[in-house]
């Protein structure tokens, strides 16, 4: 199943890298919550406090704050996005140094993302959702699989 | 045309009539259909603009979202009807317009629950 042409066209590599839609659109959760394993909240460090964010982590749109947020659920920064048996990995995307998106790795090495309030997708590579919207995957974190 | 007070105008004065904005709850715009149409246009532009955005800061900082806030009290029923359809993050807009700073805040992050609390507020105040 593919996204509508209008949506798919927003990512230059999405179709060529390969992906499939895995859910219906919803405002229930976003990519950050989804990467953290939560499908009932929208996570973001917004200054107005409408989104969920770990209490002890600064509400600032900085990579360090996102790394701290994921550290609260056991993730540690790692060097690469390659599949490592026994570990769960996430990738954080940034554009001009500002976090934009996160994806989580599937057990087969592919990735899964929630696209804002749009659908979840499974994508073969991190490059699939790189581009003007999300920028590039710049930070990788891992934790032991449970 | 009815004015609140007599207006003393100089000869050849130019008068501009503007739509009421940001009025009180009892001063809903007479032409609610046009507000509804404006909300439909602006909210569609907002959704198109934000696309797959995850940043709530950018979602609620979008110019069309801010334009909806500028419509004032008369747009509150439109926002609440939109919330009935899906729990999009209209919460900042509703707080900005109504001054109700605490409605739903205890459920931050859970848009469904926040929407439910605002819808209950809307029913209680007769907006939906």
Q: What is the 3-state secondary structure (H, E, C) of A68-120?
A: HHHHCCCCEEECCCCCCCCEEEEEEEEECCEEEEEEEECCCCCEEEECCCCCE
Task: With CB atoms and an 8 Å threshold, state whether B92 touches A50.
Answer: yes
B18 has a pLDDT exceeding 60: no
B4 has a pLDDT exceeding 80: no
Distance from CA of A97 to the nearest CA of B (A): 14
Residue B6: the pLDDT is 59
Residue A119: the pLDDT is 98
| Coil/strand/helix, residue A131 | strand
Nearest CB to B54: which of A28, A31, A41? A31
pLDDT band at B31 (very low <50, low <70, confident <90, very high): low
Average pLDDT over residues B46-61: 98
pLDDT band at A130 (very low <50, low <70, confident <90, very high): very high
pLDDT tens-digit series, residues B77-116: 999 999 999 999 999 999 999 999 999 999 999 999 999 9
Which residue, among A42, A95, A97, would best test binding to B if mutated, counting the most B CBs under 10 Å from its CB? A42
Task: With CB atoms and an 8 Å threshold, state whether B57 touches A115.
Answer: no
Which residue, among A19, A39, A117, A119, would best test binding to B if mutated, counting the most B CBs under 10 Å from its CB? A117
Average pLDDT over residues A50-54: 98
Q: Which residue has the tokens 């209209």?
A: B90
Average pLDDT over residues A64-74: 98
Cα separations (Å) of B107 from A112, B55, B59, B102? Answer: 27, 18, 19, 10
Nearest CB to B52: which of A40, A61, A116? A116
Lowest mean pLDDT of A51-65, A94-108, B19-33, B107-121, name the range: B19-33
Average pLDDT over residues A88-93: 98
Q: Measured between alpha carbons, how far is B85 from B128 in angstroms, rounded to an integer?
A: 13
Chain B hits for A131, CB-CB cut-off 8 Å, are none
B7 has a pLDDT exceeding 90: no
Q: Measured between alpha carbons, how far is B126 from B128 in angstroms, rounded to an integer?
A: 6
Q: What is the mean pLDDT of chain A?
A: 98
Q: Which residues contact A61 (CB under 8 A, 6 or more apart)?
A: A45, A98, A99, B55, B57
């Amino acid at each position: 199943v593919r996204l509508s042409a209008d949506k798919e066209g927003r990512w230059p590599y999405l179709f060529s890298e390969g992906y499939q839609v895995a859910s219906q659109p919803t405002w229930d959760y976003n990519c950050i919550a989804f990467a953290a394993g939560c499908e009932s909240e929208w996570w973001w460090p917004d200054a107005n406090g409408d989104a969920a964010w770990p209490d002890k982590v600064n509400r600032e749109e900085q990579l360090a704050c996102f790394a701290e947020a994921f550290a609260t659920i056991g993730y540690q920064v790692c060097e690469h996005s390659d599949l490592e048996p026994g570990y769960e990995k996430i990738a954080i995307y940034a554009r001009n140094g500002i976090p934009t998106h996160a994806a989580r790795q599937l057990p087969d090495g592919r990735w899964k993302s929630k696209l804002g309030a749009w659908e979840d997708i499974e994508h073969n590579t991190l490059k699939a959702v790189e581009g003007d919207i999300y920028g590039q995957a710049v930070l990788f974190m891992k934790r032991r699989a449970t | 045309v009815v004015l609140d007070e007599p207006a003393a105008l100089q000869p050849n004065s130019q008068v501009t009539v503007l739509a009421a904005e940001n009025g009180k709850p009892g001063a809903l715009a007479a032409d609610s259909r046009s507000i509804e149409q404006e909300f439909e246009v602006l909210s569609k532009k907002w959704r198109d603009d934000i696309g797959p955005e995850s940043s709530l800061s950018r979602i609620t900082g979008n110019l069309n979202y801010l334009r909806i806030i500028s419509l004032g009290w008369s747009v509150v029923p439109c926002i609440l009807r939109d919330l009935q359809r899906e729990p999009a993050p209209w919460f900042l807009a509703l707080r900005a317009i109504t001054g109700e700073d605490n409605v739903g805040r205890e459920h931050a992050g859970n848009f469904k629950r926040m929407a439910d609390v605002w819808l209950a507020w809307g029913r209680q105040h007769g907006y939906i």
